[in-house]
Structure 1
Amino acid sequence: MKRDGHIHTPYCPHGTTDPLRSYVEKAIKTGFTDVTFTEHAPLPSSFTDPTPLKDSGMTAAQLRPYLDEVKRIKEEYKDRIRIRVGLEVDFIAGYEDRTTAFLNEFGPELDDAILSVHFLQANDKIFCADYSADVFMELAHETGSVEAAYQLYYKAVEASIAANLGPYKPKRIGHPTLIHKFQYAHGEKIDDNEAIIAVLKKIKSAGLELDVNSAGLAKPDCREPYPPFHFIEQARRLGIPLVFGSDAHSVSGLHQRYEQFYTDGRDTI
């Protein structure tokens, strides 16, 4: 089975307008048998998106059209490929009740979902940690160091794993080392091995899946998947269910670098 469990859509406000049908046709052509569309869920209405264009997630008005269109495509292609209706849901500390309420309302309509951390709070300021190298460095300055910013991220991921978000909590933890996205921009060598292993052990203990996310390989300041290959191997040894995700925001990015997880001696999934 070839599966891609992390795919964005034309409903992504910071993505492309490539139609859903084009993603599906490419998946079929390249031999994939199982895909999940995981568009960024709307952020809580009381949360202020810190990005300049306020475009980190769908608007509330887009959610119903998104769900309905994926369901239509799922039905249309049901004899050719398995399509799962999904969302990528943000874990934001302090907004657990609102996230739970959202999941209780829309979770019954989902086949699959990812729980991810993008936003961090430091000294009463909110940062989208993966927005840009400049924003990351602002975060590092606010926390006191690059290492402190890393640790803040891992603590947030651990909190997402432990959070009680109700019966429809996503079963997969998204890109748990996303904080590495700008590692070649800041240039510091951070020893975060213990923190990553601690995250993996908590994922295992919670019975959750791991998003094996290839997007970082295409980022010039990252050059590795989230998490890096050797941690994917550790996750596999721990018995954590692994789900490849290209995190594609365009048809051209769909299934990006998939072959690197199955060749060069890295049969990681």
Structure 2
Amino acid sequence: MYYDGHVHTPFCPHGSKDTLEMYIERAISLGIKGITFTEHAPLPKTFTDPAPTKDSAMLYDQLGSYFEQIKELKKFYEKEIEIYTGLEVDFIDGYEDETGQLLKEVWPELDDAILSVHFLQIQENYYCMDYDENVFKEMINKTGTLSALYSLYFETVKKSIVHSFGKFQPKRIGHITLAKKFQTLFPAEFSIEKEIDEVLTAVSERSLTLDYNGAGAVKPYCLEPYPSNWIVKEAQKRKIPLVYGSDAHSAKGLGQGFHQLVPSAALTSPLLLNRAE
């Protein structure tokens, strides 16, 4: 029995149309103890979605329906599975104030929240770094080298960790090695140990948790969870809590990558330390 703390929904414009009930029934069939629905939170109103298909996140006017549907299903399935209401919130460098306002607004509805980096600013433009390999290649060209792009990504992740949203602080940091999504196409011939040490130090100092994300293991150009095994072991040495997340965008995606996790990894409930004190 385990928790899946990172699950998307039919409210995701780049996901499937599988219903919330389909996700829940699938989770029950897998013996999952509890799930957090963590749909992509609406992007800041003054931010233009840089994804070519403009489908990175749910729309602002969908929030009410999203929260209400989950609330109803919590009651219906309360004897079978634990269901938590969450969001995956984007940390976008330069848009912290608007993100903070959104967190303040939705906070009464949330049991759980993940703070993730998907968008990077290169020169005057933002890019959705995990959109596809072509966008990623363009980002390498814009930054000059793969090493420079990795450095920018990890620097932004560190900013997301050390930035304070006060009492509306998400307590889990999403897929900290998302930059490796296309690693078999663009292999890194350099060390990221320094960057990872700085990220883990910041996570530990702020008493945050890490999203141990199985989606990378099924991505054809990644083939390992986010983060990598050696990083998980370093996190364990620092006693950083790990929360498994499938990052499922369809019901069949629940549990993905779970069997590729470090066998000794001590996984915890999504609700541990997830809210500000």
The code of the aligned residue for 2:82 comes to: R
Partner of 2:2: 2
Deviations 1:17-66 (A, max 9, x none): 00111111111111111110000000001000011221100011111111
Is the Cα contact below 8 Å between 1:6 and 1:245 reproduced in 2?
Answer: yes
For residue 4 of structure 1, give the secondary structure of its aligned residue in structure 2.
Answer: strand
Deviations 1:140-165 (A, max 9, x none): 11111100000100000000001111
For residue 86 of structure 1, give the secondary structure of its aligned residue in structure 2.
Answer: strand
Partner of 1:153: 153
For residue 114 of structure 2, give the secondary structure of its aligned residue in structure 1.
Answer: strand
User: What is the alpha-carbon distance in structure 2 between the residues aligned to residue 118 and residue 260 of structure 1?
Assistant: 23
The code of the aligned residue for 1:108 comes to: P
Matched, 1:83 2:80: no
* Moved beyond 4 Å, runs of 4+: none
Matched, 1:43 2:40: no
Give the deviation of 1:210 after TM superposition. Answer: 0.3
User: What is the alpha-carbon distance in structure 2 between the residues aligned to residue 257 and residue 161 of structure 1?
Assistant: 25
Partner of 1:219: 219
Partner of 1:70: 70
Matched, 1:33 2:33: yes
Give the deviation of 1:234 after TM superposition. Answer: 1.2
User: What is the alpha-carbon distance in structure 2 between the residues aligned to residue 260 and residue 143 of structure 1?
Assistant: 32
The count of residues paired between Structure 1 and Structure 2 equals 266
Partner of 2:272: none
Aligned residue runs from structure 1 range 86-165, under 5 A: 86-165=86-165
For structure 1, which segment, 173-182 or 61-70, has the greater mean C-alpha deviation from structure 2 after superposition? 61-70
Partner of 1:268: 265
For residue 24 of structure 2, give the secondary structure of its aligned residue in structure 1.
Answer: helix
Give the deviation of 1:189 after TM superposition. Answer: 2.2
For residue 164 of structure 1, give the secondary structure of its aligned residue in structure 2.
Answer: coil
Is the Cα contact below 8 Å between 1:217 and 1:225 reproduced in 2?
Answer: yes
User: What is the alpha-carbon distance in structure 1 between the residues aligned to residue 5 and residue 42 of structure 2?
Assistant: 19
Give the deviation of 1:193 after TM superposition. Answer: 1.7
Give the deviation of 1:233 after TM superposition. Answer: 1.3
Partner of 1:176: 176
User: What is the alpha-carbon distance in structure 2 between the residues aligned to residue 219 and residue 108 of structure 1?
Assistant: 34
Partner of 2:271: none
For residue 264 of structure 2, give the secondary structure of its aligned residue in structure 1.
Answer: coil
User: What is the alpha-carbon distance in structure 1 between the residues aligned to residue 166 and residue 44 of structure 2?
Assistant: 16
Is the Cα contact below 8 Å between 2:10 and 2:19 reproduced in 1?
Answer: yes
Partner of 1:232: 232
User: What is the alpha-carbon distance in structure 1 between the residues aligned to residue 257 and residue 69 of structure 2?
Assistant: 27
Matched, 1:243 2:240: no
User: What is the alpha-carbon distance in structure 2 between the residues aligned to residue 112 and residue 188 of structure 1?
Assistant: 34
Is the Cα contact below 8 Å between 2:34 and 2:82 reproduced in 1?
Answer: yes
The code of the aligned residue for 1:155 comes to: E
User: What is the alpha-carbon distance in structure 2 between the residues aligned to residue 223 and residue 52 of structure 1?
Assistant: 25
Partner of 2:256: 256
| Structure 2 residues not aligned, in runs of 5+ | 267-277
What is the aligned-residue RMSD (CA, Å)? Answer: 1.1
Deviations 1:74-131 (A, max 9, x none): 1111111110000000000111110111111101110000000000001111110111
Give the deviation of 1:14 after TM superposition. Answer: 0.1
Query: Identity of paired residues, percent?
Result: 49
Is the Cα contact below 8 Å between 1:183 and 1:222 reproduced in 2?
Answer: yes
The code of the aligned residue for 2:107 comes to: G
For residue 251 of structure 2, give the secondary structure of its aligned residue in structure 1.
Answer: coil
Give the deviation of 1:190 after TM superposition. Answer: 3.1
Give the deviation of 1:8 after TM superposition. Answer: 0.2
The code of the aligned residue for 1:118 comes to: H
TM-score between the two structures when normalised by the length of structure 1: 0.96
User: What is the alpha-carbon distance in structure 1 between the residues aligned to residue 150 and residue 184 of structure 2?
Assistant: 14
For residue 235 of structure 1, give the secondary structure of its aligned residue in structure 2.
Answer: helix
The code of the aligned residue for 1:267 comes to: S
